[in-house]
Structure 1
Amino acid sequence: MEIATNSSNHHRLLKSSSNNSFRLRSPSLNSLRLRRIFDLFDTNRDSFITVDEISRALILLGLETDISDLDSMIKSYIRPGNAGLTYDDFVSLHRSIDDLVFGLEDVQEAVGSKEEQEEADLTEAFKVFDENKDGFISAKELQVVLGKLGFTEASEMERVEMMISSVDRNHDGRVDFSEFKDMMKVLK
């Protein structure tokens, strides 16, 4: 019965977020993204994510949820004796949510090449950063996204500008999609 309750909670928590914007199919990108998210949620750096830490992070991202639903869903993934989710527990939770939310879409998805899918994933990731939708990521846009995710670099525009210049091949002070793709290939 607990599994059914958890499944219901997953649906309730995630029913409004069933688009593929943050779902990257490249295993290396997904692993990197999950590690960064885990580290962001683990605000006290104790290698555990508590329900309170997840709730605070979701609120910062504008994704408020019912704390009791969140608590009941996450508790089933916390190993006995632990204060919260370990990274491995977090990965298991992510897989469970991923399967629940996107499983049917995977079955129904049209067959496309791996390259086409990676391109689509990168396009969606780029859109997250390109807030004004002008086709470029400016230092200000990067700063806003980093700030929402809780990165300390966001408070120093100089560091954000350095991040931009490190991938800005044409030196125009912003990152276009081609430069973004090259940067992501290096991260693979």
Structure 2
Amino acid sequence: MMSRLRARELRRIFENLDKNGDGQVSLEELNWLLEKIGVHHSADELEFSVGKPSLDFDEFLYFYNSISSEGTTGSSGLVSPKGNKGDGDQETDLAEAFKVFDLNDDGFISCEELQSVLSRLGLWDERSGRDCNSMIRAYDTNSDGRLDFEEFKSMMLITIS
């Protein structure tokens, strides 16, 4: 299972999704986010699962918690990515996550790709002082300045243990 996000990170994602600033995330905005992380549902499926046209922050947190539970169908009715039921499931989850970051599909995650994806999710802020090069260097075992799948997998397994 992927590393769970902290409330502060979820708040930033919520605020970035809430384009009109009304304190609600529409199903369209929510579906956009889900597609960016590789979870695909039709608008009708999402509306049926959520049961309302938009979510406030507390409902967004509840929704996040329901889809990020270990490999179960959350109370939202949406099936979360597979959990730790076996190494094959975890490997599949990590491969899917890797694809989200590998924007040019070259088999590597560059600093630019990492920063782009984190920015789209609202987890990158120029003022945060984060340096994507140092983030990559921490797990770049062959020192080529980018992460291959095995390096990414090591990073994620350390992050979620």
TM-score w.r.t. length of structure 2 = 0.61
The structure richer in helix per residue is 1
Tell me which of 86, 94, 97 is aligned to 1:125: 97
Q: CA deviation at 1:147?
A: 1.2
Q: Which runs of 5+ in 1 are unaligned?
A: 1-25, 45-49, 76-82, 107-112
Aligned to 1:72: 52
Letter in 1 for 2:123: F
Separation (CA, whole Å) in 2 of partners of 1:135 and 1:90: 32
Cα pair 1:129 1:137 within 8 Å, conserved: yes
| Pair member with larger Rg | 1
Separation (CA, whole Å) in 2 of partners of 1:176 and 1:36: 29
> Structure 2 matches for 1:8-87, cutoff 5 A?
26=1, 29=2, 32-33=4-5, 38-43=10-15, 50-52=23-25, 72-73=52-53, 84-85=57-58
TM-score w.r.t. length of structure 1 = 0.54
Q: Secondary structure at the match of 1:175?
A: coil
Query: C-alpha root-mean-square deviation of aligned residues, in Å?
Result: 4.0
Cα pair 1:40 1:150 within 8 Å, conserved: yes
Equivalences, count:
136
| 1:136-179 deviation per Cα after TM superposition (whole angstroms, max 9, x unaligned) | 00011111101111123467897111111111111100000010
Aligned to 2:75: 96
Letter in 1 for 2:75: S
Identity %: 33
Q: Secondary structure at the match of 2:109?
A: strand
Letter in 2 for 1:124: E
Separation (CA, whole Å) in 1 of partners of 2:75 and 2:8: 19
Tell me which of 169, 172, 180 is aligned to 2:141: 169
Cα pair 1:167 1:180 within 8 Å, conserved: yes
